[in-house]
């Protein structure tokens, strides 16, 4: 059966992998709309390749370029927030949500409100507004299927038993480029080095989050909302081979794990078909050829962002929203060469402690999450070194 699909963030790393999956299964999918940020040419190209019916660019200034690039194709287009909402409102079976960062919240939530099934890559939706998203999903009977590889693996592992029998759900981290580096050496590393991920090929913001282990921290918060597991039942293991993505330890001591070669096309394909398995012509996992899988506990001394995220998850309320906003600002500044590696965690910690006294409750609606996000960004900007 052909499924119709809208891709938010179609020009990004996840968006391009999704396009590959769709193009390898032309009979299974029909693309309704594609959404991109600023690059009109790249969006036009992916819209053409996928034969989408509609293309929406977030940046209004690129609207004319997009229209010209699509002229003669019969693909309609638009630019700006209203065009994105138009893309999301178009009837489809699945919306793949892969816009990066907080910018993904409003479009993803609009898709959910329209009753679309969500294949969720944009973890920020759950980190910033998890209560709001999950409550609306339950109320509307919308399924949110995780694209994030660890959560996709957990989703399958959890299907082997009852949630109340879960002792621990563990997500793995490859450890990033600094896994074996000393703290002194990490402190000096610039964003180019931090961006070179040893295993996964991803968008640039998430690469830095993998180097700081903030990505794993955000994923703990994501897992908490997706699976209704509290902080005490969630954990992280460092696993450089990135073959085992998620493990569930049951109360009888048995463990169910999800394994795959590290290629986002595997969880993407699965999330697009909501757990049905597509035929994927990818290399197969050959455990004998790999020979050895190794695991380690994360070092929160060298990677303080992980403990900050754990603390935010435990604190609850609006703290994860604050943490994520401060981190986005800090990562942007680090990528621009304005701050050093450990300034990221220091800025995040400092913004979180500024907000902790206010004991803000978890945002019940997305607009509230975006308001707290804005305030936390402002606070983070205020900490930026004066010379920068």
Q: CA separation (Å) from 72 to 21, 51, 68, 75, 84?
A: 26, 13, 9, 8, 22
Give the binding-site size for Mg ion (rule: CB under 5 A): 3
**Which of these ranges, 146-154, 251-259, 272-280, 335-343, lies near Mg ion under the rule CB under 5 A?**
146-154
* Residue 58, contacted partner among ligand NAD, Mg ion, none, CB below 5-8 A by kind: ligand NAD
> Kind of pairing, strands 117-120 and 144-146?
parallel
Based on the shown chain and the rule CB under 6 A, indicate whether residue 258 belongs to the binding site for ligand NAD: no
Specify the residue, 13 or 249, whose C-beta has the smaller distance to Mg ion.
Answer: 13
Compute the least distance from the CB of residue 103 to ligand NAD, in Å.
3
Specify the residue, 57 or 248, whose C-beta has the smaller distance to Mg ion.
Answer: 248
Based on the shown chain and the rule CB under 5 A, indicate whether residue 222 belongs to the binding site for Mg ion: no
> 149-158 vs 214-227: helix axis angle to the nearest 10?
30
Based on the shown chain and the rule CB under 6 A, indicate whether residue 121 belongs to the binding site for ligand NAD: yes
Based on the shown chain and the rule CB under 6 A, indicate whether residue 124 belongs to the binding site for ligand NAD: yes
Compute the least distance from the CB of residue 221 to Mg ion, in Å.
12
Instruction: Please pick, from the candidates 28, 93, 148, 263, the single residue that binds Mg ion as defined by CB under 5 A.
Output: 148
Contacts of 347 (CB under 8 A, 6+ apart): 326, 329, 330, 333, 339, 380, 383
CB atoms closer than 10 angstroms to residue 196: 11
Which residues 190-209 are close enough to bind ligand NAD by CB under 6 A? 200, 202-203, 206
CB atoms closer than 10 angstroms to residue 301: 8
* Residue 99, contacted partner among ligand NAD, Mg ion, none, CB below 5-8 A by kind: ligand NAD
Compute the least distance from the CB of residue 134 to ligand NAD, in Å.
17
Give the binding-site size for ligand NAD (rule: CB under 6 A): 26
Based on the shown chain and the rule CB under 6 A, indicate whether residue 13 belongs to the binding site for ligand NAD: yes
Q: CA separation (Å) from 128 to 15, 132, 318, 365?
A: 22, 9, 8, 10
Instruction: Please pick, from the candidates 5, 6, 9, 21, the single residue that binds ligand NAD as defined by CB under 6 A.
Output: 9
Instruction: Please pick, from the candidates 24, 41, 76, 103, the single residue that binds ligand NAD as defined by CB under 6 A.
Output: 103
Compute the least distance from the CB of residue 274 to ligand NAD, in Å.
18
Length of the chain: 388
From CA 171, how far away is CA 385, in angstroms rounded? Answer: 35
**Which of these ranges, 120-128, 166-174, 239-247, 345-353, lies near ligand NAD under the rule CB under 6 A?**
120-128
Based on the shown chain and the rule CB under 5 A, indicate whether residue 373 belongs to the binding site for Mg ion: no
Q: Token pair 């697009």 is at which residue?
A: 272
- Are 377 and 323 within 8 A, CB to CB? no
Based on the shown chain and the rule CB under 6 A, indicate whether residue 155 belongs to the binding site for ligand NAD: no
- One DSSP character per residue, 220-253 reads HHHHHHHHT--GGGEEEEE-TT--EEEEEEETTS
From CA 159, how far away is CA 155, in angstroms rounded? Answer: 6
> Kind of pairing, strands 234-238 and 255-259?
unpaired
From CA 308, how far away is CA 349, in angstroms rounded? Answer: 7
Q: Token pair 């998620």 is at which residue?
A: 246
From CA 290, how far away is CA 269, in angstroms rounded? Answer: 24
Which residues 47-86 are close enough to bind ligand NAD by CB under 6 A? 58
Helices (H) and strands (E) in the chain, counts: 17, 11
- Are 331 and 380 within 8 A, CB to CB? no
Compute the least distance from the CB of residue 122 to ligand NAD, in Å.
4
* Residue 35, contacted partner among Mg ion, ligand NAD, none, CB below 5-8 A by kind: ligand NAD
* Residue 87, contacted partner among Mg ion, ligand NAD, none, CB below 5-8 A by kind: none
Based on the shown chain and the rule CB under 6 A, indicate whether residue 31 belongs to the binding site for ligand NAD: no
Residue nearest to Mg ion according to CB distances in the complex: 148
Specify the residue, 142 or 218, whose C-beta has the smaller distance to Mg ion.
Answer: 218
**Residue ranges that bind Mg ion, judged by CB under 5 A:** 148-150
**Residue ranges that bind ligand NAD, judged by CB under 6 A:** 9-15, 35-37, 58, 98-100, 103-104, 121-124, 148, 200, 202-203, 206, 264
């Amino acid at each position: 059966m052909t499924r119709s699909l809208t891709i938010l963030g179609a020009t990004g790393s996840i968006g391009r992998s999704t396009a590959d999956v769709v193009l390898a299964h032309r009979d299974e999918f029909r693309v309704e709309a594609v959404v991109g940020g600023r690059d009109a040419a790249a969006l036009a190209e992916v819209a053409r390749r996928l034969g989408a019916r509609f293309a929406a660019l977030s940046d209004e200034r690129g609207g004319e370029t997009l229209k010209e690039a699509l002229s003669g194709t019969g693909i309609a287009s638009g630019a700006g927030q209203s065009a994105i909402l138009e893309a999301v409102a178009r009837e489809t079976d699945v919306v793949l949500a892969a816009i990066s960062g907080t910018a993904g919240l409003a479009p993803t939530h609009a898709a959910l409100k329209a009753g679309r099934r969500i294949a969720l890559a944009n973890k920020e939706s759950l980190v910033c507004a998890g209560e709001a998203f999950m409550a609306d999903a339950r109320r509307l009977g919308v399924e949110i299927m995780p694209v994030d590889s660890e959560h996709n693996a957990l989703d399958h592992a959890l299907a082997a038993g009852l949630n109340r029998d879960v002792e621990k759900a563990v997500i793995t981290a490859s450890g990033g480029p600094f896994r074996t580096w000393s703290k002194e050496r990490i402190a000096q590393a610039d964003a180019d080095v931090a961006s070179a991920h040893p295993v996964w090929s991803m968008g640039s913001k998430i690469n830095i989050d993998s180097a700081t282990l903030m990505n794993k921290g955000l994923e703990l918060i994501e897992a908490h909302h997706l699976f209704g597991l509290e902080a005490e039942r969630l954990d992280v293991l460092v696993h450089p081979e990135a073959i085992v993505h998620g493990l569930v330890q049951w109360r009888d001591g048995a463990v169910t794990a999800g394994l795959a070669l590290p290629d986002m096309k595997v969880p993407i394909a699965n999330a697009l078909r909501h757990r049905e398995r597509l035929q994927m012509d990818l290399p197969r996992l050959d455990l004998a050829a790999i020979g050895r899988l190794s695991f380690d506990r994360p070092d929160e001394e060298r990677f303080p962002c992980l403990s900050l995220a754990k603390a935010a998850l435990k604190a609850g309320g609006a703290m994860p929203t604050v943490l994520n906003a401060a981190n986005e600002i800090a990562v942007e500044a680090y990528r621009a060469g304005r701050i050093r590696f450990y300034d990221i965690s220091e800025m995040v910690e400092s913004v979180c402690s500024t907000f902790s006294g206010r004991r803000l409750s978890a945002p019940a609606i997305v607009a509230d999450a975006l308001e707290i996000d804005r305030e936390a960004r402002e606070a983070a900007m205020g900490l930026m070194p004066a010379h920068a």
